[in-house]
Amino acid sequence: MSLLRVEGLGKKFGGVNAVEDLSFEIPPGEVYSIIGPNGAGKTSLLNLLTGVYKPSSGRIMLQEHDLTGHPPYAYARQGIARTFQNLQVFFNMSALENVMVGRYMHERCGLMSALLRLPRQARADRACREEAAELMRYVGLQAYLSSAADAMPYGALKRLEIARALATRPKLMLLDEPAAGLNPTEALELDDLIGRLTERGVTVVLVEHNMRLVMGVSDHILVLDYGRKLAEGPAQEVRNNPKVIEAYLGSAVSSETSYREEIAQVVAVAVEMHR
């Protein structure tokens, strides 16, 4: 039984088919990666899967719920969380408050309770604060527990979005290029973080260009090209699919080299820290 099922999904912008006649299923508990060149429609697909875009055609089912056409908050309430390629951090708040906002669905209270700050409300707020702090430590942001969001470096903000998404207690988490803009050490730490997400029981959809990361953590891979499915299957199969190699992984060699460079850098950093 799949967690998410997509049938004949399409999204048109004027004459452009950002996503076209796409069908696939995501089994629970997996890391399901979506790869493809820039403009392939990966971000548009995540926008469709979170209700940010309304599909022009097709259906989106989470378990038995048909979510097609519902607003984004309905997707969130059914257990789909995400991060953004272009950050959508709440820069007017502290880092901790950003994560607390992620707890909204589980904290939400009546207007009267909020206005009068009943003792129950004050207690719930303290608990919320502690859980948010716990999640920040979980993603490795313990250094930023009292930071303002607008004072944090890029790499930390990407983790902050992961912590905020985790705070919703999702079944399915969509990560849009989490490694983009990270240095090699930070990118390596992401493997570990994604591994821990699945241990937590969260199914992960990973959109990513970093092939080392994708090949290291994925169970299934979907390859998109011009909004259409180019290939799909278990990671090993897709990696050896000639169509994929031709269309997209042509740069596999160079990604191998950059992997070696990354390892060299990471080793250098580790040696430095060990001293």
Partner 1 sequence: MLAHLASPRTGGLLALAAVIALLPLVLRNSYFYDVAVLVGLNAIVCIGLNLLIGYAGQISLGHAGFFGLGAYGSAILASRYGWPPLAALLATTFAVALLAFIVGRPILRLRGHYLAMATLGLGVIIFMVISTEDKFTGGPDGISVVPFRIGGFVLQGERIWYWVVGALLLVAVWLALNLIESPTGRALRALHSSEVGAEVVGINAAEHKLMVFVISAVFASVAGSLGAHYSGFVTPAKVAFLHSIELVTMVVFGGLASTFGAVVGAAVLTTLPQLLATFEDYEMMVFGAVMIGTMIFLPRGVVPSLARLFRSHRSADADNKANKA
Ligand X SMILES: Nc1ncnc2c1ncn2[C@@H]1O[C@H](COP(=O)(O)OP(=O)(O)O)[C@@H](O)[C@H]1O
* Residues contributing to the site for ligand X (CB under 6 A): 13, 16, 18, 36, 38-44
Candidates 75, 184, 204, 215: give the one binding partner 1 (CB under 8 A): 75
Within 10 angstroms of residue 153's Cβ, the number of other Cβ atoms is 9
Report the relative pairing of strands 203-207 and 228-234 from DSSP bridges.
unpaired
Backbone phi and psi for residue 26, each to the nearest 5 degrees, phi listed first? -115, 115
Q: Which does 81 bind (CB under 5 to 8 A by kind): ligand X, Mg ion, partner 1, none?
A: partner 1
Per-residue contact flags (x/-) with partner 1 for residues 161 to 190, judged by CB under 8 A: ---xx-xx----------------------
Helix (H) or strand (E) holding 57: strand 57-62
16 Cβ partners below 8 Å, 6+ apart?
Answer: none
Taking contact as CB under 8 A, which single stretch among the options 19-27, 80-88, 248-256, 267-275 is the one that binds partner 1? 80-88
Taking contact as CB under 8 A, which single stretch among the options 12-20, 45-53, 189-197, 210-218 is the one that binds partner 1? 45-53
Residues in the chain: 275
> How many Cα neighbours within 13 Å face the side chain of 261?
8
Q: Does 245 bind partner 1 (CB under 8 A)?
A: no
Q: Does 85 bind Mg ion (CB under 5 A)?
A: yes
Per-residue contact flags (x/-) with partner 1 for residues 103 to 132, judged by CB under 8 A: xxx-xxx-x-xxxxx---x---x--x----
State how far the alpha carbon of 59 is from the alpha carbons of 7, 49, 54, in Å.
5, 10, 10
Instruction: Name the residue whose CB lies closest to Mg ion.
Output: 43
